[in-house]
Homo-oligomer: A and B are copies of this chain.
Amino acid sequence: MKKDTREALIDSAFNTFYKQGFQGANIATILSEVGINKGSMYHFFKSKKELGLAVIKERIEQNLVNKYTKILEEKESLKNLFDAMRSAPETLVFGCPLNKMSQEMLYVDNDFKKLLSETYVIFENLVGQIVQKEGLEDSSSKAKLIIATYEGALMIYHLNQNKVEFRATLSDLENQIA
């Protein structure tokens, strides 16, 4: 179990940053959640920032890759993509992790910006492949439109808590895309 300290640290950091924001989160919270001491964390990460970057790389990016490559490999990719997006309120209870982190950190730190931009490219490519698989043209601009609408609608959902309208927006988009 000792070997998993690093993973437990990233898990807890992801959750804490996700809820409270990177700058608003404090390390002590993460430490007590994992049940270790400060020095132990600094053995794996040389700073809070490094921990943040690891969270982006190993959780935010990885979660996106896992989720959307799986959809890409399925039979009805595009349909499943919209199904997955429509269920976002259930899974992403504090919003889109990539969007949250981006809004907060993009102009605060350049290393965050670089990593978050790279993560977005991966996201767009995966959605683009799903669109392309359906034989649709302009897959990259369609992917952008899907992601934009999804992210924006998710923001609105978190502001007005109206799940029905959130899903309706995505369904309209789905009908329009195909």
Contact = CB atoms under 8 A, between A and B. Distances in A.
A113 to B, nearest CB: 8
B165 A155 contact: no
Nearest to A161: B117
A144 B156 contact: yes
Nearest to A159: B120
- How often does this chain occur in the complex, in copies? 2
Given A145-B149, A152-B147, A169-B141, A160 B104 contact: no
Interface residues of A, number: 42
A148 B159 contact: no
A116 B172 contact: no
A147 B160 CA distance: 13
Interface string A3-25: 00000000000000001110110
A108 B24 contact: yes
Contact of A160 (B105, B117, B173): B117
